[in-house]
Amino acid sequence: NNLVNSGSKRTATYKVCGTKINYARSTTLNFIRPFHVEPRNIVGDDPQERVSAEAAILNSRVHYYSRLTASSDRLLSPPNHVIPRQEEIYIYSPLGTAFKVTGSDPSSKNPSIITIFAIWNTMMGTSILSIPWGIKQAGFTLGILILIFTGLLMLYCCYIVLKSPKAITDMDTSDWEFPDVCSFYFGKFGKWSSLFFSMVSLIGAMVVYWVLMSNFLYNTGQFIYNYAHNVNGSDSEFGTNGSVICPYPTTEPGGNSTISTLYISGNDTSDGSSFEHWWSKTNTIPLYLIVLLLPLLCFRSAAFFARFTFLGTISVVYLIVLVTIKAVHLGFHLEFHWFDTARLYVPEFRLLFPQFTGVLTLAFFIHNCIVTLMKNNKHQENNVRDLSVAYLLVGLTYLYVGVLIFAAFPSPPLSKDCIEPNFLDNFPTSDVLVFVARAFLLFQMITVYPLLGYLVRVQMMGQIFGNHYPSFLHVLVLNILIVGAGVLMAKFYPNIGSIIRFSGATCGLALVFVFPALIHMISLRRQGLLRWPSAIFHSFLILLGMANLLAQFFM
């Protein structure tokens, strides 16, 4: 303590083991730090999950000093030797990345271009595979309009979330996240409801991942089997020489079966039948994944898997290149029928458009972690501009993929209604470029899935038990429930479009529409700035979120 009181000081605030602490750090003296914490206990594992004796002592001291003084009282701030070295402090973000605490040095912040592409990379997910299907459900023209309108609406709500901590002037909100803001305004209800809807988005994403991993593993194995046994699919003349297929033929309103081609994976031999029996997309593959992924979910830390998050960017770039190649090869096939369904084409305006709004709610969803991302921006005054540019890039990416796949889908001979919720299903297993995409996405999802499970465990176990890893049995039961949900959906309802739209509309109701709009109106009212036009508009946002969710049950 005597050492701390000498020399010039500067004050900093960090969260260590979930507790906010304020301390004075000397800038002129080097202090002895007797409580050494092994790096693996901070970086490789969460401090509350795998704690050494030294880390336990440090944690107890930090809690002790935090209870002695308020955040505004510097008298009993923790001494310097109680705090870990700054280079040893890491924050595990909701994005599955461990961020190192680098202090307030502006040079350690990210420039705008890095922040913009971090948002773009985070928002890009499995929803991009369902954008062409969503445009088909809404109609080509209406789908494009809805995509633009929903993107602007989600951007505005995200802007409200971003500025919500700064609207609280009577408290230090520098390290707050949006759930903290919800808890401030709505108490325990805001805390638990934000947790619930956050779980909906995470578990919904994990279910979609399980369905997609089953799909990609099946098609990857099918490609290898066909290549090894020299088996060819039966590509009929209606399949555009095997370039595009219609896996599930539809029936036109007139009652005639839509012209399509079904991909047959093997010959009618006993060996082929045996392979198909043990290599089934819905009956066996979802169960095989349990052997691989359930043990990975039980790892105490997900730090190893966080190293592979860069694969998400590579996957999206490869998909864009793949879509471009296919569009150039197939050409454009468009006819405009505004309200009536024509043979092989869908009308420009369809009543099924709420399915697309549900998908887009999740596709543009980043509201629960935008505050964390923007804290690392070097120029905080450009946060709104950078957020807007990121949303513009995301919207353009979705438009590019969705419009090209829809326009290039060969009609005739196939119907536009053949576009699948996962547009990769419209390409045969024998397609080498699509095989590479599926194999790459499969590996990426295998590394991301444990990260999502880790986030579910940390948030749920931390709130209920106060410990991220209460016991192996607790974690195993939770993981079995999550995996069971994925297996059941992959077996009985492997429609990622419907799963995405329901989870997106559900979590979007609270975290995109209701909470941001209510917080904005309450903040304006406390400042005496709330006016009727603003109240009506933000109330309308709440009604839109409710209508978006209710409409999913009638589609």
* Tens-digit pLDDT profile for residues 434-489: 999 999 899 888 888 888 888 888 888 877 887 888 888 999 999 999 999 999 99
As given in the structure block, the two tokens for residue 236 are 């009929």
Q: How far is CA 341 from CA 305, 344, 346, 353, 419, in A?
A: 47, 8, 5, 15, 16
Structural element, H or E, at residue 92: strand 90-92
Q: Could you tell me the pLDDT band of residue 62, with boundaries at 50, 70 and 90?
A: low
pLDDT of residue 394: 94
* Percent of the chain predicted with pLDDT > 90: 35
Minimum mean pLDDT among 98-112, 278-292, 532-546: which range?
Answer: 98-112
Q: Would you call the peptide bond into 413 cis, given omega within 30 degrees of 0 as the criterion?
A: yes
Structural element, H or E, at residue 10: strand 9-16
Is residue 140 exposed (0-12), middle (13-18) or buried (19+ Cβ within 10 Å)? Answer: buried
User: What angle separates helix 311-330 from helix 432-465, to the nearest 10 degrees?
Assistant: 140
Token pair 């409710």 is found at: 546
In whole angstroms, give the CA distance from residue 449 to residue 185.
33
Q: How far is CA 231 from CA 90, 242, 262, 272, 435, in A?
A: 52, 14, 15, 10, 16
Q: What is the DSSP string of 478-520?
A: HHHHHHHHHHHHHHH---HHHHHHHHHHHHHIIIIIIHHHHHH
In whole angstroms, give the CA distance from residue 403 to residue 73.
58
- Looking at the predicted structure, is the pLDDT value of residue 29 above 50? no
pLDDT of residue 82: 61
Q: What is the pLDDT of residues 248-264, one digit of tens each?
A: 654 343 333 333 333 33
> CA 496, 502, 508, 511 torsion: positive or negative?
negative
Give the residue-averaged pLDDT of 35-60: 50
In whole angstroms, give the CA distance from residue 399 to residue 191.
35
> CA 452, 453, 455, 456 torsion: positive or negative?
positive
Residue among 552, 470, 544 nearest 514 (CA): 544
Higher pLDDT among residues 92 and 220, named by residue: 220
Token pair 């809690």 is found at: 63
Residue among 502, 342, 395, 426 nearest 350 (CA): 342
Measured from the Cβ of residue 339, the count of other Cβ atoms closer than 10 Å reads: 9
- Looking at the predicted structure, is the pLDDT value of residue 541 above 80? yes
In whole angstroms, give the CA distance from residue 307 to residue 288.
25
Is residue 378 exposed (0-12), middle (13-18) or buried (19+ Cβ within 10 Å)? Answer: middle
280 close to 268: Cβ distance less than 8 angstroms: no
